[in-house]
Amino acid sequence: MIMAKAKKYYLCQECGYKSVNWMGKCSNCGSWDSFEEVIEDKSKNKKNKYDLNREEKEPQPITEISSVKRQRLKTNITELDRVLGGGVVSGSLILLGGAPGIGKSTLILQVASLFSQKYGKTLYLSGEESASQLKMRAERLNCMEENLNILDERDYMVLENHISKNKDYSLIVVDSIQTVHIPELDAAPGNLTQIKEVTNRLVKLAKTTGIPVVLIGHVTKEGELAGPRVLEHLVDTVLQFEGDNYHMYRMLRAKKNRFGSTNEIGVFEMKEKGIEEVANPSSFFINERSADVSGSIITPALEGSRVLLVEVQSLVTDAAFPSPQRLAKGVNHKRLSLLLAVLEKRLGANFKEFDVNLNITGGINVEEPGLDLAIIAAVISSYKDISLDNDLAVIGEVGLGGEVRAVGQIEKRINELKKLSFKKVVIPAGNAKNIAFDPDIKIDAVKDISEFVKIIIK
């Protein structure tokens, strides 16, 4: 009998691209040193492991398909429920990513504890910490619940066999997806083959049992989730936990959500007793603002359905090198360069001999275009070394022609300013027609940046 030869090829661990020869750089995704050798034994009668439903089905008209409303399980953490779209959907697979030490495991351990109180038994599979280490953390976080079960195991088959006999869990946590593996696969833990197979089996487990599963994943130094992109495609929800070790706050965003919006944001604070939600984020971000300092302005930034008041700071100084520096934190530096070009072209300002630094305080990252006018206000204030009024805020997008364009949800932004006692706001003229007179706040409308500068610089 002729034995089938084993097939050998090289697989990119980032994108799954196959090559018969090893390559230093993947021609498909451009990643370096990402190829690993894979030996596929053709003599084995392999089944399709990725077929999540082996029952043969026939197509049917969409009008005849019965609607199934999935149950949402509230976590009792308002900020987390907001980002998820109202709670954890039963049978869903959630991927939580974030830098090491950011608080991923702390947050999910608190969620598992709350679930065990409200919905029954929860299972925490730890591939990184021992059971005793998790107990020490749970004691510190006051998460010592009898229904919270810990399994410190890296073999996925142990989890699958256990769930097949115990299907009464309300939540399963896998910490982390990069450490859990299937021993029968000829691949190291954390590589493409292992992650795809483990995730596919977890998808099947969640869908067949109705138990929601939370996966914890690491991120690269660029801020992207470590491992293959296929992982993000397989799960229902991808959450990103942001922040750094130098600020107490943490931001939670949804990069993907099959059961809700991806525009929502949750704000948390890291404390000794764990992660706590921030009830009033706007006050949190601007409470340490210095008075009568040039280069500082407040703007109401829109993050999903929520308005956050953030402080934009700028520092314009004489250039230390022949090539002036453009540094930005919390906003894309290319956006800063673009707005400086608009100022030079439309107002005749000269920044060729100055270093321009920009910062969004608190470490928050803001991408919405309504931030443009605040950036210009901060830069001009520092450039002329004139402080702006402490009770002033500005909102608006700036075009390349210097025009100030309208932004969305202007009334909601102004109401947030009024809550924190701001008395003056500059808005785009395009928004002014929709705003009624308000005795509590003075509203100035501008059409272009020339008119804007005349109002704020007196």
Residues of the chain with CATH 3.30.230.10: 284-456
Flag whether 104 is marked binding.
yes
- Listed in order, the ranges of the chain carrying CATH 3.40.50.300 are 72-279
Confidence at residue 35, expressed as pLDDT on a 0 to 100 scale: 84
Structure tokens at 351: 């920044």
Residue 100 labelled as part of a binding site: yes
Prediction pTM value: 0.80
Tens-digit pLDDT profile for residues 392-432: 999 999 999 999 999 999 999 999 999 999 999 999 999 99
- The annotation status of 304 as a binding-site residue, yes or no, is no
243 is in an annotated binding site: no
Q: What is the per-residue pLDDT across 24-64, written as a single tens digit (0 to 9) for each?
A: 888 888 888 888 887 776 555 454 444 444 567 789 898 88
* Kind plus residue range of the DSSP H or E element containing 107: helix 104-118
Query: How far apart are the two ends of the chain, measured CA to CA in Å?
Result: 93
Q: Could you give the angle at the alpha carbon of 309 between the alpha carbons of 307 and 315, nearest 5°?
A: 140
Give me the residues of the chain with pLDDT under 70, please: 1-6, 41-55, 220-228, 245
Q: What is the pLDDT of residue 50?
A: 44
Homologous superfamily of domain range 72-279: P-loop containing nucleotide triphosphate hydrolases (3.40.50.300)
From the CB of residue 84, how many other CB atoms can be counted at a distance below 10 Å? 27
Predicted local distance difference test score (pLDDT) of residue 111: 97
| DSSP letters for 265-331 | EEEEEEETTEEEE-S-HHHHHHTTPPSS-TTEEEEEEEETTEEEEEEEEEEEEE-SSSS--EEEESS
Indicate the CATH number of 284-456 among 3.30.230.10, 3.30.70.1230, 3.30.460.10, 1.10.10.10.
Answer: 3.30.230.10
**Which residue(s) pair with 397 in the sheet?**
405
